Amino acid sequence: MSPTINRARWSGILAVLCVGGGLLASPPAQAASDIPTAAELLAKCNHGTDKCIFHPAGALKIFPGKTHRVGDLAYNCTEDPQTSSRTWEDTTGESNSLGVAFREEFEVGTTFGPTYKFAFEQSYKHTWSNSHTESQSTFIDVPAGEVGWVTRSPQMQRAKGTYELIFGKRFHGHYYWYVPFEATGPADRPSTKSQRSRPMTPRERKTYC
């Protein structure tokens, strides 16, 4: 690799970190107004680059998502324990650090296209799910005078790393650009469901009983 290209490569690293990492100064040879945004760089992934590669920073991390209520509340206005059935549907979506469209339905025919997601999935040899919907009918045991509900905690996956974009011709003055990227989405694993209940408030008892 020639000294000129090597210098351009590290200038590109500094420039993109100035965009995404909050550095206070940009490289002297390039004005801040000439630095493309991270989203603009991803739009060039296999749409103007010689190579577009995602370099993972470690393995996928699996973790429990936020526990939240699904379905309607079940009010027991009697003096005996009751069992109620609640049918619910819940969708878990994805997000990423750049706020770009990573969803399959928006990829085809858009500015970004499917290519940067393809590079992402190829690096992990793993399909990235943009959303997952789960539905179920759950029986809730509600004590006398209480209100019950179902909670769900989806299993999530998080991945982070860096996109490396290599250009055959200089793009905004550089052959190499690097875009830090982190994404969170639903994992292909069963979620955790549970039942909860509490005493009804006077207002709830007045309204529902």
pLDDT of residue 46: 79
Q: What pLDDT was estimated at residue 65?
A: 95
Which residue, chain included where needed, has tokens 């296209």? 113
pLDDT at 108: 38
pLDDT, position 56 = 87
pLDDT of residue 188: 83
Token pair listed for 188: 């292909």
Instruction: Identify the segments of the chain with pLDDT beneath 70.
Output: 1-33, 101-119, 121-127
